[in-house]
């Protein structure tokens, strides 16, 4: 094992331990808040409890992302055959937003880890929905030179040039983004893409908008 791999494994173990330690107290907070909701609270108290539950749910999602990051170096990809186009189309529908899905073929067969592939594309779409202008989301799936590509494009505030290389760093938050987030989604995307033998890139400008691209081998 190389020094880099050893470091990555150590980091994944630390992330896993942190997530484990946070889950139990967070679950107790959510359970207690839900019990309070049953007690016929006055409007002010009820609003406060709703805020507690909403923030606890957001924290739970962030812990889930920590767990996924931790598992990447500990759990090898589980490869199977699946249609990438079906997965991308279902993810687009699940986000409940108007988007354009473009592909020049009826199916795109892959031999890879469907769960990881789905999580990568889901994070890319979630990021575009969060920061893009409503109705500007476009997704393209295509093949080239034995690789499958997924482009997720949106219009909106561009990422600063000096931030483009940093968006993949865990916990990094671009100055172009004013909305809350964990800073873990794109870090997961980059690591997971690497585990599948693929890569990711991003381009962003005022004129062209922002495009995240995920590419990986067909087999």
Beta bridge partners of 154: 210
Q: What percent of the chain has pLDDT over 90?
A: 31
pTM of the model: 0.71
Helix %, strand %, coil % of the chain (to 5):
50, 20, 30
Q: Tens digit of pLDDT for each residue in 39-94?
A: 778 888 888 888 898 888 877 777 776 676 667 666 778 899 999 999 999 998 88
For the segment 23-42, the average pLDDT, to the nearest whole number, is 85
Pairing type for strands 147-154 and 209-217 reads antiparallel
144-170 per-residue burial string, b: 16 or more CB within 10 A, e: under 16: eeeebbbbbbbbbbbbeeebbeebbeb
Q: How many CB atoms lie within 10 A of CB 44?
A: 8
CATH number of 80-217: 3.30.565.10
Token readout for 159 is 């990422």
pLDDT of res. 150: 95
Contact 174, 185 (CB under 8 A): no
Q: Tens digit of pLDDT for each residue in 150-179?
A: 999 999 889 999 999 899 887 787 765 556
């Amino acid at each position: 094992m190389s020094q880099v791999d050893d470091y990555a494994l150590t980091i994944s173990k630390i992330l896993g331990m942190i997530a484990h330690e946070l889950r139990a107290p967070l679950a107790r907070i959510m359970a207690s808040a839900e019990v309070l909701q049953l007690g016929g609270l006055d409007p002010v108290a009820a609003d406060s409890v709703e805020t507690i539950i909403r923030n606890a749910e957001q924290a739970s999602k962030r812990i889930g992302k920590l767990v996924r990051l931790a598992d990447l170096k500990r759990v090898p990809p589980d490869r199977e055959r699946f249609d990438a186009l079906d997965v991308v189309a279902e993810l687009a529908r699940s986000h409940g937003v108007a988007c354009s899905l473009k592909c020049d073929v009826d199916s795109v067969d892959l031999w890879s880890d469907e769960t990881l592939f789905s999580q990568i594309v889901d994070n890319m779409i979630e990021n575009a929905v969060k920061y893009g202008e409503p109705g500007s989301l476009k997704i393209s799936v295509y093949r080239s030179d034995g690789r499958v590509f997924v482009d997720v494009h949106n219009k909106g505030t561009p990422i600063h040039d000096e931030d483009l290389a940093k968006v993949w760093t865990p916990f990094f938050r671009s100055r172009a983004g004013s909305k809350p987030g964990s800073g873990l989604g794109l870090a997961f995307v980059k690591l997971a893409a690497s585990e599948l033998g693929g890569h990711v890139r991003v381009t962003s400008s005022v004129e062209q908008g922002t495009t995240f691209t995920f590419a990986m081998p067909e087999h």
